[in-house]
């Protein structure tokens, strides 16, 4: 899968040592806010800058989301906050179980998509490449 030049630059910056700094600042910010932080709030704290109104084009927001992904992959129970675009470090086992169930549901749906694509590929090969 190809990436845009902007995204490649973002990944290069993270891989050049920026990711651990961002991750630490995110974790500190979430530890200090039991009710969670909005994405814009995290940008303010992590980068010390005011976020854009449209976060979809904000590379700092993308870096925040990559940092959250990294922490989740390490096992930190970071959940998306309900009702607003943000994150919360949640240690309530009930909420962690809910997060796990949601992720497991995504796996099931994605596996269905993979299986369908494999069936299509196999049928395509059978019909057009066995001559």
Residue with tokens 């997060």: 99
- Ordered by start, the domain boundaries in the chain are 1-90, 92-131
pLDDT digits (tens, 9 = 90+) for 36-70: 999 999 999 999 999 888 888 888 999 999 999 99
CB within 8 A of 22, min separation 6: which ones?
Answer: 14, 46, 63, 64, 66, 67
The CATH number that domain 1-90 falls under is: 1.10.10
Alpha helices in 58-92 (DSSP H): 59-73
pTM: 0.75
Token pair, residue 111, equals 């596996």
């Amino acid at each position: 899968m190809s990436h845009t030049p902007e995204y490649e630059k973002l990944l290069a910056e993270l891989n050049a040592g920026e990711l651990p700094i961002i991750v630490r600042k995110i974790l500190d910010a979430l530890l200090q806010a039991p009710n969670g932080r909005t994405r814009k709030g995290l940008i303010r704290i992590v980068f010390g800058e005011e976020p854009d109104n449209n976060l979809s084009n904000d590379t700092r927001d993308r870096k925040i989301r990559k940092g959250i992904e990294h922490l989740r992959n390490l096992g930190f129970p970071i959940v998306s906050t309900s009702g607003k675009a943000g994150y919360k470090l949640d240690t309530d086992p009930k909420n962690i179980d809910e997060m796990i169930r949601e992720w497991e549901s995504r796996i099931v749906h994605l596996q269905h998509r993979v299986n369908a694509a494999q069936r299509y590929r196999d049928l395509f090969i059978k019909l057009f490449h066995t001559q």
